[in-house]
Amino acid sequence: MKKLFGVLGNPIGHSMSPVMHNDLFSLYDINAIYLPFQVKEEDLSDAVIGLRAIGAGGFNVTVPHKSKIIPFLDEVDELAASIGAVNTVVNRDGKLIGFNTDGLGFLKGLNEIVPKIEGKRILVIGAGGAARAIFFTLAKESPIQMDIANRTVEKAARLIEECPYSISSKALTIEEAGSNLGHYDLVIQTTMIGMAPKITEQPLSLKNLNPHSVICDIIYNPLETSLLREARERGAKVQNGIDMFVYQGALAFEKWTGISPDIQRMKENVLGQLGGK
């Protein structure tokens, strides 16, 4: 019998996950289908009850349900619980278990251009759910320092306090981070600023950027944000959000099927959907 997988979100129409996972199911000859489900917040509990009742193999959870899903699951792994967000659910013999593959997905993508995080000075811009997943995951990798800049500085300070791994870290205003930018080896942009359609927006000034640094933006639409374009023009190495998206999906696929999928093929598939190369 065909196994059902899917993604719960609202809106969900533009999700690239269905094409990515369905291609993998066919590549590995797995009798399964992955569908997008648009679910309103007030229907989230019913959606989970329904997926459980029909024996879905698992599902992804995206904006705005990543935190709200937690009370409806049977178990949440330690990392996802500390982040306070689940993006992947696995049905193990009727038990729904929540994981978060966003942070590790980001790290795996980052490792393609920065193999070692240990000893690095890092700046994270933003203090939302994506920033939490990335910060908690990278904190385990022993950077020498990892600061957070956020419009609401208190939120950055809370994120640092709640991180289960102790590292040297300061909460900064966007202006403080901008004037101190030359200090960092790695800058990670996690907010929605610069995402289509507002593609000219930039979260901070790059005037003081260290040209030897690496800048990552978790946005992939557009493929090159205004921030990344300027960073590239200033000589920095840049990475867009495709790698994080593909690796978080690959980690979810592995949890559902036990197969570690073909990353290159997934990237080409996603780039094809976005009209890139």
Decide: is 41 part of the binding site for ligand ATR (CB under 6 A). no
**Spatial separation of the C-alpha atoms in residues 87 and 8, rounded to whole Å:** 9
Q: Which amino acid type is present at position 65?
A: H
Which residue is listed with tokens 């559902």?
256
The residue from 152, 175, 182, 211 that contacts ligand ATR (CB under 6 A) is 152
Burial of 211 per CB tally in 10 Å (0-12, 13-18, 19+): exposed
Decide: is 162 part of the binding site for ligand ATR (CB under 6 A). no
Decide: is 121 part of the binding site for ligand ATR (CB under 6 A). no
Decide: is 193 part of the binding site for ligand ATR (CB under 6 A). yes
> Going edge to edge, which strands form the sheet with 95-99?
32-38, 3-9, 58-61, 88-92, 95-99, 75-76
Neighbours of 207 (CB within 10 A): 11
Decide: is 155 part of the binding site for ligand ATR (CB under 6 A). yes
Cis peptide before 203 (omega within 30 of 0): no
Torsion, Cα of 171, 175, 195, 201 (10° steps): 170
Q: Which amino acid type is present at position 187?
A: V
H-only helix segments in 84-225: 102-111, 129-139, 153-162, 174-179
Token digits of residue 35: 């569908």
Length of the chain: 277
- Check the annotation: does 130 bind a ligand: yes
Which residue of the set 2, 66, 207, 237 is catalytic? 66
Q: Considering the complex, what minimum distance in angstroms separates the CB of residue 154 from ligand ATR? A: 9
Where in 61-120 is the site for ligand ATR (CB under 6 A)? none
Backbone angles phi and psi of 74, in degrees to 5: -85, -35
Q: Which stretch binds ligand ATR (CB under 6 A): 41-49, 144-152, 205-213, 255-263?
A: 144-152
The residue from 192, 195, 271, 274 that contacts ligand ATR (CB under 6 A) is 192
Decide: is 3 part of the binding site for ligand ATR (CB under 6 A). no
- Check the annotation: does 126 bind a ligand: yes
Q: Considering the complex, what minimum distance in angstroms separates the CB of residue 193 from ligand ATR? A: 5
- Check the annotation: does 127 bind a ligand: yes
The residue from 27, 37, 114, 128 that contacts ligand ATR (CB under 6 A) is 128
66 is catalytic: yes
Q: Considering the complex, what minimum distance in angstroms separates the CB of residue 135 from ligand ATR? A: 11
Q: Which stretch binds ligand ATR (CB under 6 A): 109-117, 184-192, 235-243, 247-255?
A: 184-192
Burial of 152 per CB tally in 10 Å (0-12, 13-18, 19+): exposed
Q: Considering the complex, what minimum distance in angstroms separates the CB of residue 93 from ligand ATR? A: 31
* Site of interaction with ligand ATR (CB under 6 A): 126-131, 150-152, 155, 190-193
Tell me which residues are annotated as active site.
Answer: 66
Binding residues for NADP(+) are: 78, 126-130, 150-155, 218, 241
